[in-house]
Homo-oligomer: A and B are copies of this chain.
Amino acid sequence: MGKINCIGILTSGGDAPGMNAAIRAVTRAALYEGIKVKAIYRGYKGLISGEIKEFHTEDVSNIILRGGTILKTARCQEFVTPEGRKMAYDRLVEEEIDALVVIGGDGSLSGASVFSNEFNYPVVGLPGTIDNDLYGTDITIGYTTALNTIVDAVDKIRDTASSHDRLFIVEVMGRDAGFLALNGAIATGAEAAVIPECKYGPDQLMSSISHGLRSTKNSSIILVAESEITGGAMGVANLIKDRYPDYDVRVTILGHIQRGGSPCATDRIIASQMGIEAVRAILEGQRNVMVGIMNGEVVYVPFDRAIKGNKPVGDNMLNALAILSI
């Protein structure tokens, strides 16, 4: 590997709070080491089309507190094709960018993996997704803020007038992973969580929910992950209305609220640590790895494992919810 004189940085896929803290940390850690930084806008799309700008320390001032990503993100069909990736590679060469930091989730790191193998080009990934569904890291950038957003929302529902037969269903994100729904339920004292990991049929689902419905004397709250498997809030609501026609069921769909907001302290700190570490990894000659945090330690996880590994929500947390909702 040749000397690293310039690092490129981009964000890709769904945005997540804390991405800006990561961009800031990568930029400043690189400048601290005397390395040039080039910011690439709109993810792989902007890499191909050349939306690229050199970043100096002041370009990342006052961004640590902002949600979203100042680099924007975009879907990019071209990058899925070999021709598109070749254009991306040519652009990196043309811009004299020697290594790339990609901040994103599952799909974005998959793309990075293919690309880096194809061109033998050093890429380091940072886990940026509110879903927390990347293997090899205990926590992803954005997850904790999204969890806090869910908690704030459900707390407000707790405030409202209690009546015996009222049921609130709150749909949260997590198409393939129940971290937000399950840990959100624990943190808000909800009665149940419906998550994609538990592939219940309608009867099992009703029985798992009705535990919460029967036991409580006041209104109940159920968190449902937005997923084809769970049916989402509307699906669960219809199921309940069928079986318990007396229940007054109210639906909240949080939607993209969960992607936004000023990042919480934890997301800013881990994003800062990971950003510094990404630059260190590149200087150490690491490539095609994601920087993660496992058991409090920074680790490098090969892309393949980060993407394909199965990260369980944890039986202990499922048990915890069962114990706490008695």
- How far is B163's CA from A74's CA once the two chains are assembled, in angstroms? 7
For A216, the closest partner residue in chain B by CB is B61
- How far is B101's CA from A226's CA once the two chains are assembled, in angstroms? 39
Stretch at the interface among A47-55, A80-88, A105-113, A150-158: A150-158
Kindly identify, within residues 219 to 269 of chain A, every residue whose CB is under 8 Å from any CB belonging to chain B.
250-262, 264-266, 268-269
Cβ of A93 < 8 Å from any Cβ of B? no
- Min distance, Cβ A185 to any Cβ of chain B, angstroms: 10
- Interface flags for A137-159 (1: CB within 8 Å of B; 0: not) read 01000001001111101011111
- Min distance, Cβ A43 to any Cβ of chain B, angstroms: 9
Cβ of A272 < 8 Å from any Cβ of B? yes
- Interface flags for A267-287 (1: CB within 8 Å of B; 0: not) read 011001100100000000000
Number of copies: 4
For A294, the closest partner residue in chain B by CB is B296
| Chain B residues positioned under 8 Å from A160 (CB to CB) | 14-15, 67-68, 256, 259-260
Kindly identify, within residues 176 to 198 of chain A, every residue whose CB is under 8 Å from any CB belonging to chain B.
183-184, 186-189
Cβ of A114 < 8 Å from any Cβ of B? no
| CB-based contact A259/B183 at 8 Å | no
Cβ of A62 < 8 Å from any Cβ of B? yes
- How far is B257's CA from A156's CA once the two chains are assembled, in angstroms? 5
Cβ of A5 < 8 Å from any Cβ of B? no
Pick from B25, B58, B264, B297: contact of A217, CB under 8 Å: B58
- How far is B24's CA from A301's CA once the two chains are assembled, in angstroms? 38
Cβ of A65 < 8 Å from any Cβ of B? yes
Cβ of A91 < 8 Å from any Cβ of B? no
Please tell me the number of chain A residues within 8 Å of chain B, measured between CB atoms.
79
| CB-based contact B250/A256 at 8 Å | yes
- Min distance, Cβ A109 to any Cβ of chain B, angstroms: 17
| CB-based contact B256/A157 at 8 Å | yes
| Chain B residues positioned under 8 Å from A25 (CB to CB) | 323-324
| CB-based contact B24/A62 at 8 Å | no
Cβ of A218 < 8 Å from any Cβ of B? yes
Stretch at the interface among A26-34, A117-125, A200-208, A303-311: A26-34
| CB-based contact B251/A73 at 8 Å | no
| CB-based contact B252/A326 at 8 Å | no
Provided the pairs A74-B161, A151-B264, A156-B149 are in contact, do residues A189 and B64 lie with their beta carbons within 8 angstroms? yes
| CB-based contact A189/B24 at 8 Å | yes
For A14, the closest partner residue in chain B by CB is B161
For A11, the closest partner residue in chain B by CB is B161
| CB-based contact B252/A158 at 8 Å | no
A-B contact pairs, 18 of them (CB 8 A): A15-B160, A29-B323, A31-B326, A62-B189, A65-B155, A67-B159, A72-B162, A75-B163, A156-B260, A157-B255, A159-B260, A160-B260, A187-B265, A187-B272, A250-B255, A252-B256, A253-B255, A294-B296
4 more A-B residue pairs beyond the given contacts A24-B324, A66-B159, with a C-beta to C-beta distance below 8 A = A65-B151, A65-B188, A186-B268, A295-B295
